[in-house]
């Protein structure tokens, strides 16, 4: 089985990645390897941030690892919050602050189209690869659901009756930007089996 360190301090992402990879990969958290680190993400693209996070952990540990970075792009807001999705409502803001800000910015807007894009950077045997996943959908007019994290209560994937936060994890993971990017990574890793 592959053993990869996942470069994140976000426990929601860690749980999702483990649900998505099942028993194909032994996903090791930073806690598992005893690393307490604040991982930088200062680039201006999600791909750049994913590379920066993975390189940071690789340089510290020399272990095979991967990182993801996600952006929510809202058409009527010219692609915002995009790469700045984590701190949309300001430095140190919560998920709830960000969700409130999205709903406020979109007050009175009929065009609700949005997408999540996720970039995963894998560093395996010293080589770096990037995989991307995307899901289109729309921003709802109010919050629904309590599962998931981040913007999940206001994002409804195309063709679905529920927001990500109303779905059981297997349904979100089967559709999501992260699920799609991870499946590409798994396909890529298959050649090394």
Residues that bind ligand IMP (CB under 6 A): 10, 41, 69-70, 72, 85-86, 95, 98, 148-152, 164, 176, 178
Residue nearest ligand IMP by beta-carbon distance: 150
CA distances from 135 to 65, 142, 145, 175 (A): 24, 20, 19, 7
Q: How far is the CB of 191 from ligand IMP (least distance, A)?
A: 27
Q: How far is the CB of 152 from ligand IMP (least distance, A)?
A: 4
- Choose between 4 and 118: whose C-beta lies nearer to ligand IMP: 118
Of 131, 126, 129, 119, whose CA–CA distance to 58 is shortest? 126
Residues 6+ apart with CB under 8 A from 78: none
The answer to whether 69 is a known catalytic residue is yes
- Min CB(64)–ligand IMP separation in Å: 20
| Secondary structure letter of residue 154 according to DSSP | G
Whose Cβ is closer to ligand IMP: residue 41's or residue 105's? 41
Catalytic annotation, pick one of 69, 111, 136, 152: 69
| Structure tokens, 178 | 């992260």
Pairing of strands 81-82, 113-124: unpaired
Whose Cβ is closer to ligand IMP: residue 70's or residue 140's? 70
CA 112 centroid distance within chain: 21
Catalytic residues: 69
């Amino acid at each position: 089985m592959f053993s990869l360190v996942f470069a994140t301090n976000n426990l929601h992402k860690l749980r999702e990645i483990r649900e998505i990879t099942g028993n194909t990969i032994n996903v090791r958290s930073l806690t598992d390897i005893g690393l307490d680190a604040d991982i930088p993400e200062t680039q201006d693209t999600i791909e750049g941030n994913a590379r920066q996070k993975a390189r940071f952990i690789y340089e510290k540990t020399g272990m095979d690892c991967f990182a993801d970075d996600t952006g929510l792009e809202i058409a009527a807001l010219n692609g915002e919050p995009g790469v700045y999705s984590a701190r949309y409502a300001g430095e140190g803001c919560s998920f709830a602050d960000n969700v409130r800000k999205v709903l406020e910015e979109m007050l009175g807007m009929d065009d609700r189209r949005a997408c999540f894009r996720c970039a995963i950077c894998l560093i395996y045997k010293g080589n770096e690869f990037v995989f991307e996943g995307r899901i289109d959908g729309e921003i709802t007019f109010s919050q629904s659901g309590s599962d998931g994290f981040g913007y999940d209560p206001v994002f409804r994937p195309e063709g679905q009756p529920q927001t990500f936060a109303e779905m059981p994890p297997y349904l979100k993971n089967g559709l999501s930007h992260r699920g799609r990017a991870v499946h590409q990574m798994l396909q890529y890793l298959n050649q090394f089996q």
